[in-house]
Amino acid sequence: MFLKRWLVGDPLKSNQAAHERLSKTLALAIFSSNAISSVAYATEEILLVLILAGTAAVAWSIPISFAILFLVVVLTISYRQIIYEYPSGGGAYIVARNNLGELPSLIAAAALIIDYVLTVAVSVAAGIAALTSAVPSLFPHRVALGLVAIIFIIVMNLRGVRESGKFFAVPTYFAIGALGVMVVVGNIQAFFGQSVSLSPDHQTAIEELTLFLILRSFAAGCSAVTGMEVISNGVKAFRQPESQNASTTMICMSLILAALFMGITFLADHYAVLPKTDETIISQLAHLTFGTGALYYAIQIGTLLLLILAANSAFAGFPHLASILARDGYMPRQMATFGDRLVFSNGIIILGVFACFLLILFHGDTHALIPLYAVGVFISFTLSQTGMVRRWLTKKGPHWRKNLIVNGAGAITTGIATIILATTKFTHGAWIVFLLIFILVLMFRSIHSHYKAVAAQIALTRDHRPPLPRRNIVLIPINGVNKAVIRAVDYARSRPGEIRAVMVDVDPESTARIQIQWAQWGCGVNLFALPSPYRSVLGSLLDYIENILEKEPDIWVTVVIPEILPAHWWQGILHNQRALLLKTALLFKERVILTDVPFHLKR
């Protein structure tokens, strides 16, 4: 408990929830780091595909980036409308649920959940790649460094939304500022010709530059728009007026994203920078712009911070989405429960665990994780935009035609992008995302069916009547006479009903000795010795209880179990676990009530 309080902090009262909401400044740092951080690898992913057709094909990075910039504009306008129409949050899931039905909404939720997990893994892996570019000796330890980063972010998020926001705001803005300075200075130098372009090594074409290769490059670069939906999922985390503040933050995020992404792409094209296995594009551009001095390391540190903190936006979005799904009965109820610090602690921990698993599985390799990335989020983009089209056609209202055109354009563009992503990345790992979406949708429906069945079974209907009183038989299983047993007898005597102490006769001498002791200490409670030819203590007790239940179908059987609890947890292995076995065996028996009476040993 002391360790938990030291790591997480003291609990917050429920009425402090309003004070935990975020200002636009903190919200921008928390929610936008995912989208903005993608500029660190989006251009590189475009170039990694184009370079397959030789160095001449790299020039296509500019028109491809403009196509992605168009997506940013469309998604910004579209998600601002979702923020105002659905101020309770939930993003694509809520939009699809209200307008398209259950199955599309669950597909959107599954796609977003996969994207959130991948966001953490990809962001941390890319951040560690930025670190190892500056310090190559750390490259063999990239997985361990990534795990440490994820665990640190988990702990900070468990401390609360506002506290984690304050902690992460400064490094996030430092990173944005560092990259911004590099883009501005680098492009000024390029414009005035103050810097010399690299002369890249000759790159032999592996593939012919075809439309399919260009589409593959576009699909790889679409990682730049992942994370744009996070603000719409967490509108309730903003201070009032929530929708207005969330909308303003969305615009700021998109402007920063567009400026950095296009600036980096222009620089990479101007200097003919090509991807390397041991150095990122950002590192190469920083070298060209600032040399190897302090400013270069500031860029690398800023990129590292931004990429690692990008995972924080997933920790802001996933728990909120999971809580909404839990509220609707599609995820375990525990996901909708606030922790001590007024955050959805269960969602934070589960997200962190799965992200750590992915990081280990793919050895912390950003390029191995990227093919899985963006597919899920574009599925959710398409469903949310399609849902909004359906909403305007049904609801209409002021300016509905203009809104319909905006969301219609969004649905068409994101739909086309989804098809491109699915076809170009399918054999590179995207099939795993579709399989996981299918599994998650089945899981959601199974959980929902379970909760519906439980509700139907426990509901009181009109034909139910208050039950009549039943007779209660209280059984106390014993294997000796001691303080723990007498404590259980004392408790049993305070309950109404017939009390019986029962023991299993496995040793006649021991049984006779216990009967003599019981006559003195048994407080008048009858003791029954159960025969057991095969020395099965648990089996004889269960047979005795089953026999009582069969003979008297209208009674309760309460089993009062005396249990000795050691002072230290490790001492438990030195004691008989018969009480635990008995509780496990009786837990699912009808009309059997278990009562545990602990006897605590002193230190």
Please check whether residues 381 and 494 belong to one and the same domain.
no
- For residue 81, being part of any structural domain is answered with yes
- For residue 463, being part of any structural domain is answered with no
Instruction: Report pLDDT for 576.
Output: 63
- For residue 460, being part of any structural domain is answered with no
Beta-sheet strand order (sheet of 556-565): 526-531, 498-505, 472-477, 556-565, 592-600
| Dihedral over Cα of 134, 140, 142, 148: its sign | negative
Query: For residues 15 and 149, what is the distance between their CA atoms, to the nearest angstrom?
Result: 32
Please check whether residues 410 and 556 belong to one and the same domain.
no
Q: For residue 54, is it left (φ>0), alpha (ψ between -120 and 50) or beta?
A: left
Instruction: Report pLDDT for 199.
Output: 46
| Residues sharing a CB contact under 8 Å with residue 391, sequence separation 6 or more, in sequence order | 85, 95, 98, 99
- For residue 6, being part of any structural domain is answered with no
Query: For residues 435 and 448, what is the distance between their CA atoms, to the nearest angstrom?
Result: 20
- For residue 317, being part of any structural domain is answered with yes
Instruction: Name the pairing type of β-strands 526-531 and 556-565.
Output: unpaired
Please check whether residues 240 and 389 belong to one and the same domain.
yes
Q: Nearest Cα to 51, choosing from 216, 195, 199? A: 216
Instruction: Report pLDDT for 339.
Output: 64
Q: Buried b vs exposed e over 415-448: b needs ≥16 C-beta within 10 Å?
A: bebbebbbebbeeebbeebbebbeebbeebeebb
DSSP conformation letters of 122-181? HHHHHHHHHHHHH-GGGGGGHHHHHHHHHHHHHHHHHT-HHHHHHHHHHHHHHHHHHHHH
Please check whether residues 445 and 489 belong to one and the same domain.
no
Q: At 84, which CATH number? A: 1.20.1740.10
- For residue 17, being part of any structural domain is answered with no
Q: Buried b vs exposed e over 502-535: b needs ≥16 C-beta within 10 Å?
A: bbbbbeeeebeebeeebeeebeebebebbebeee
Tokens of 67: 């196509």
Please check whether residues 149 and 228 belong to one and the same domain.
yes
Of 387, 415, 449, the last residue of a domain is 449
Please check whether residues 26 and 88 belong to one and the same domain.
yes
Please check whether residues 299 and 218 belong to one and the same domain.
yes
| Residues sharing a CB contact under 8 Å with residue 50, sequence separation 6 or more, in sequence order | 57, 58, 60, 61, 64, 209, 213, 214, 217
Please check whether residues 229 and 280 belong to one and the same domain.
yes
* 150 contacts 352 by C-beta, under 8 angstroms: yes
Please check whether residues 384 and 476 belong to one and the same domain.
no
- For residue 93, being part of any structural domain is answered with yes
DSSP code of residue 238: B
Please check whether residues 183 and 52 belong to one and the same domain.
yes
Domain that holds residue 560: 472-600
Q: At 542, which CATH number? A: 3.40.50.620
For residue 258, which phi and psi values (nearest 5 degrees)?
-60, -45
Instruction: Report pLDDT for 341.
Output: 57
Q: Decide: helix, strand or coil at residue 196.
A: coil
Please check whether residues 386 and 530 belong to one and the same domain.
no
Instruction: Report pLDDT for 257.
Output: 92
- Give how many domains the chain has, as a whole number: 2
* 129 contacts 370 by C-beta, under 8 angstroms: no
H or E segment at 51? none
Instruction: Report pLDDT for 170.
Output: 84
For residue 592, list its beta bridge partners.
Answer: 557
Please check whether residues 512 and 430 belong to one and the same domain.
no
DSSP code of residue 22: B
The residue to which tokens 């029954």 are assigned = 528
Tokens of 100: 């398209």
Amino acid code (one letter) for 121: A
Tokens of 292: 């190897």
* 43 contacts 65 by C-beta, under 8 angstroms: yes
Kindly list the averaged pLDDT for each block of 10 residues, start to end, along the chain of length 603.
Answer: 54 52 81 81 86 81 91 88 80 87 92 87 80 80 88 81 70 88 88 59 63 83 81 80 89 92 90 80 87 84 80 80 90 79 77 89 75 79 90 83 86 86 79 90 94 86 77 90 92 88 88 90 90 79 90 90 82 72 85 90 82
- For residue 517, being part of any structural domain is answered with yes
